Amino acid sequence: MRIALFIIILIATVVASSATTYMLVPVKYTASFYPKWLQDNMDAAQNIRDSSIPIIGVDVDEKIGVLTIYMTDENSEKYVQKIDDLIDVPFDILSETQSRELRCLETYKSIREVPRTHNAVTDELHIIKHQQYLVGQYVDLKCPGFSDLESMKKNLKGYSLVIIPQRASVEGGQRLNPQEITVVLGINNTVTWINEDDVVHTFGSDDKNYPWWTELMRPDESSSVTFNNTGIFSYHGMSGSWATGKVIVLDE
């Protein structure tokens, strides 16, 4: 019996060249392998984390064979082969019907509502476009209506995403990802923190000129803050001085 290896990619468009800025256009990437492969190749996730692919988070559930990737580039197709190479699956263990699939989903909210299991989650999502392709085939997938920044402003609410990884509350553990994020006033100046740690988190600043805090976030919960002023806003978590970050707000 074969286990499905699902890779979900959230794609974001860079709208400010000075640092990474996310406008999420969610895309789902899936692949099927023989059952024992993921258990024997858990270093594949670390290879992806250490790569130059613009990853902001990688989750692994070994029991059900699910690998989830959060990515931040609008040109997802150019990273597909690189991900395949990093996962490094020998050709002789691939299914004869081995394929990949990319899907553009309608909203960021759709991705947030996907349960973290390998059940038929695609049936619960509103698909607006998809394209199947074989291993090694070049994929040209463009979400409709997002060909340039102006159309994105009209058609997509801007989100800037920060992942709170597991062990973020432990000194020497994983850092916020990314620790520094640049947003553009009036485009994507709402920043969302997603808590993937096992403990409660909150982040913010007691700066007398611009105090702000997220809500308390239990595991798998999120909280958003909208920045209405330009500037550099350093912040920290309640868990310790190592849980720090910076939001840079640029003028449109």
Both ends of the chain: CA-CA distance in Å? 53
Radius of gyration of the chain (CA): 19
**Claim to verify: residue 170 and residue 136 sit in the same structural domain:** no
Instruction: Give 93 or 45, the one with higher predicted confidence.
Output: 45
Domain that holds residue 201: 159-250
Among residues 149, 180, 208, the one where a domain terminates is 149
**Claim to verify: residue 61 and residue 184 sit in the same structural domain:** no
Averaged pLDDT of the chain: 57
pLDDT value at position 213? 92
Q: Give the predicted TM-score (pTM) of the model.
A: 0.41
Percent of the chain with pLDDT strictly greater than 90: 3
**Claim to verify: residue 103 and residue 29 sit in the same structural domain:** yes
Q: Is 47 helix (H, G, I), strand (E, B) or coil?
A: helix
**Claim to verify: residue 100 and residue 171 sit in the same structural domain:** no
pLDDT value at position 175? 76
Count the domains in the chain.
2
Asked if the model's pLDDT at residue 17 lies above 70, the reply is: no
154 within some domain:
no
Among residues 123, 149, 175, the one where a domain terminates is 149
Beta-strand runs (E) in 121-211 = 127-133, 160-164, 180-184, 190-195, 203-205
- CATH code: domain of residue 167: 2.60.40.420
21 within some domain:
yes
Mean local confidence (pLDDT), 170-179: 75
